[in-house]
């Protein structure tokens, strides 16, 4: 038989999935819904909109207005869902066989639902240590919301000391992950008839050379794995091209080509080395070849997001708290990125731990197992003991 808390959490999750908060769209309705629940529980809530006023972060506090609080953080945005690929409506929760289907169910609205439901219980306690709820926008496209939130926290008089990021880890305690650096490199040449290729600058051909150089660098990274990276899979910094856009027709020299690429560095030095090598290749090799034919040729790299990894720390209060709550004997590291590194850079101790499997994230028929949600609620209930003690 389900507890009232689990039933309440699933009801909240149903509502959250119903908000189609794809990164390209607004999350304001979800933020308004969450803010109402938190204010009804007695929380002090701050909503901060982005420059477009179409997206917002939420930061709420339950308990005393002092430093040393614990942040429960989750992102509100989801990746797109093509209804044709789903066996159900992506934005209408469906429960079947102990699984809760819907876009964002595990990544990561299940955790948010649990936090919102549990916040009503926290508010009834005489907390000695504040509990903070952080909900962010645009994690999936560069962690823009978390960056905004962290900058606001820097200007705040109150500093939390612990953050638990609820990305889907099957409730495993994650103490480290790789960084995630995303870019778009655009090549601008000049077009012409394909019968005379030497009279134009084919941006696609230049992009192909750039990608080839990227793959060479990717191979060199495999030789850099060591004791500090052997826990990762794979145990080295990776590079990957995700999308290419260029050209207009097969018989026209391509004037423009854009390459969307990323790297997942184990070490900051790897990221600096790769960026320096690619910049040198563009400036010393590719661009001179282009401008010798077309003086106005350009290569422009746009930084989409540079999100630092979560470094494994010898002392980590967040790790100590969450391992005691979950009963975990070991912590792990993962290769996927989260907002955790941004909170760590602010000086907080951080772990990643949340319900659901990353294997379900970003896929059709995404689901969250009910028993995972129940385990998350057990962790959040156990957290009451920590919140009742002064930091």
Positions annotated as catalytic residues are 77, 139
Closest-CA residue to 299 (of 288, 310, 314, 313): 288
Structure tokens at 54: 């179409």
What is the Cα–Cα distance from 34 to 44, expressed in whole angstroms? 12
What DSSP letter does each residue of 280-316 carry, written as one string? HHIIIIIHHHHHTT-TT-EEEEEEEEEE--B---SS-
What is the Cα–Cα distance from 377 to 145, expressed in whole angstroms? 25
Pairing of strands 162-165, 70-75: parallel
| Exposed e or buried b per residue across 366-384, where buried means at least 16 C-beta atoms within 10 angstroms of its C-beta | bbbbbebbbbbbbbbbebe
Q: Which residue has the tokens 């953080």?
A: 73
DSSP class of residue 171 equals T
Plot region of 58 (φ>0 → left; ψ -120 to 50 → alpha; else → beta): beta
């Amino acid at each position: 038989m389900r507890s009232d808390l689990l039933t309440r959490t699933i009801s909240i999750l149903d509502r959250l999935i119903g908000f189609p908060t794809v990164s390209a769209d607004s999350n304001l309705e979800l933020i308004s819904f969450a803010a109402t629940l938190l204010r009804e529980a007695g929380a002090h809530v701050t909503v901060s909109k982005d420059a477009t006023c179409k997206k917002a972060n939420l930061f709420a506090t339950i308990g005393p207005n002092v430093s040393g609080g614990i942040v429960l953080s989750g992102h509100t945005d989801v990746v797109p869902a093509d209804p044709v690929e789903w066996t159900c409506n992506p934005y209408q929760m469906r429960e079947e066989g102990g699984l809760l289907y819907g876009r964002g169910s595990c990544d990561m609205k299940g955790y948010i639902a649990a936090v919102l439901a549990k916040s009503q219980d926290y508010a009834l306690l005489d907390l000695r240590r504040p509990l903070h709820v952080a909900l962010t926008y645009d994690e999936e496209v560069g962690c823009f919301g978390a960056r905004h939130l962290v900058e606001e926290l820097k200007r705040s008089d109150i500093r939390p000391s612990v953050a638990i990021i609820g990305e889907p880890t099957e409730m495993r305690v994650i103490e480290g992950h790789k960084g995630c650096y995303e870019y778009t490199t655009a090549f601008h040449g000049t077009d012409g008839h394909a019968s005379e290729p030497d009279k134009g600058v084919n941006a696609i051909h230049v992009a192909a050379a750039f990608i080839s150089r990227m793959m060479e660098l990717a191979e060199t990274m495999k030789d850099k794995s060591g004791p500090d990276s052997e826990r990762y899979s794979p145990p080295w910094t990776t590079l990957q091209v995700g999308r290419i856009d260029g050209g207009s027709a097969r018989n026209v020299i391509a004037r423009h080509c854009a390459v969307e690429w990323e790297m997942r560095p184990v070490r900051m030095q790897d990221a600096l080395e790769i960026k320096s090598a690619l910049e040198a290749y563009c400036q010393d090799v590719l661009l001179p070849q282009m401008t010798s034919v077309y003086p106005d040729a350009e290569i422009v790299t746009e930084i989409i997001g540079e999100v630092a990894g979560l470094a494994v720390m010898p002392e980590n209060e967040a790790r100590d708290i969450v391992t005691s709550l979950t009963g975990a004997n070991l912590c792990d590291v993962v290769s996927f990125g989260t907002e955790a590194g941004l909170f760590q850079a602010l000086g907080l101790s951080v772990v990643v731990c949340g319900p659901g499997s990353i294997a379900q994230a970003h896929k059709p028929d995404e689901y969250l197992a009910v028993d995972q949600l129940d385990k998350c609620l057990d962790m959040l209930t156990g957290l009451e003991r920590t919140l009742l003690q002064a930091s």
